[in-house]
């Protein structure tokens, strides 16, 4: 089932409740569901809470859930808890989860902690996870630590992981390094990894040095790696070069490498290409 209401700014809680009633009348168990409420500014917390509580019971061992609530200012602690509880109760066989909360500026470390504690135990079968937190300005390194420990230690079947934290001004090297270490330690089946920290201005070369997956011997199945540090002006060639030994020794099956950074020399791609002969595609973007 696929519904997109993106940009429909006049939809209110009443409209969401109509959708809720439709879902409740549906006698068929849904395996896949995609809902897009991006920029639906008139939907309040009651509407989103009702949606999360009614959607999941209609799913019988779902395989895919995609939920786009970007730029929804009303997303609150109650929604994060309710949605997490619903996933925990009704979606333990979920394979793919895509959740876009970009621009939901009220989301805090505590909200993410509540959500992660609910889903980390339930989604042990998850293979593909995509979380977007663009412009969630209240999140700090604690959010990265919660994700690192809560998700990576439980979701050992993950093959694809995408995390976007663009324009999160409170993130520092400590949080990024911890996230990278936990990913490297625990996600043995990971084949695709995309991490985005654009315009997180406190991040420096120290993140990349620690992020070099010193503990990442389990990432030998990784085929695709994309790191986005565009707008992080304290990252330069020196930080990127610190990744090379780890990429060469620990990610021997890597086929494609893409790095976004704002301060790159013209020679950086040549250096990587020379030292990573087995990587068929290497892209650098400013």
pLDDT in tens, 56-78: 655 556 688 899 999 887 787 88
pTM value?
Answer: 0.90
| Residue 139: band (very low, low, confident or very high) from pLDDT cuts 50, 70, 90 | very high
**Mean predicted confidence (pLDDT) in 107-112:** 91
Average pLDDT for the chain: 84
Of 114 and 51, the one with more pLDDT: 114
Fold (CATH) for 2-285:
3.80.10
pLDDT in tens, 178-228: 888 888 888 889 999 999 999 999 999 988 887 765 545 568 889 999 999
Structure tokens at 243: 């990744």
Evaluate if residue 50 carries a pLDDT over 80: no
Of 22 and 161, the one with more pLDDT: 161
């Amino acid at each position: 089932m696929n519904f997109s209401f993106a940009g429909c700014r006049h939809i209110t809680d009443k409209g969401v409740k109509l959708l809720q009633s439709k879902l409740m009348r549906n006698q068929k168990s849904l395996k896949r569901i995609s809902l897009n409420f991006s920029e639906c500014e008139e939907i309040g917390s009651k509407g989103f809470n009702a949606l999360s509580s009614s959607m999941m019971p209609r799913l019988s061992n779902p395989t895919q859930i995609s939920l786009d609530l970007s730029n929804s200012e009303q997303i609150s602690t109650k929604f994060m808890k309710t949605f997490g509880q619903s996933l925990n109760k009704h979606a333990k066989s979920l394979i793919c989860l895509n959740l876009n909360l970009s621009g939901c500026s009220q989301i805090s470390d505590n909200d993410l902690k509540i959500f992660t504690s609910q889903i980390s135990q339930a989604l042990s079968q998850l293979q593909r996870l995509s979380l977007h937190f663009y412009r969630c300005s209240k999140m700090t390194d604690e959010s990265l630590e919660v994700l690192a420990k809560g998700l990576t230690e439980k979701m050992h079947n993950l093959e694809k992981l995408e995390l976007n934290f663009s324009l999160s001004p409170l993130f520092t090297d400590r949080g990024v390094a911890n996230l990278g270490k936990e990913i490297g330690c625990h996600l043995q089946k990971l084949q695709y990894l995309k991490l985005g920290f654009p315009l997180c201005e406190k991040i420096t070369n120290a993140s990349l040095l620690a992020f070099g997956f010193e503990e990442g011997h389990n990432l030998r199945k990784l085929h695709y790696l994309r790191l986005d540090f565009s707008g992080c002006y304290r990252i330069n060639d020196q930080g990127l070069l610190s990744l090379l030994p780890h990429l060469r020794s620990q990610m021997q099956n890597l086929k494609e490498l893409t790095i976004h950074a704002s301060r790159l020399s013209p020679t950086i791609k040549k250096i990587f290409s020379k030292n990573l002969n087995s990587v068929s595609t290497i892209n650098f973007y400013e």
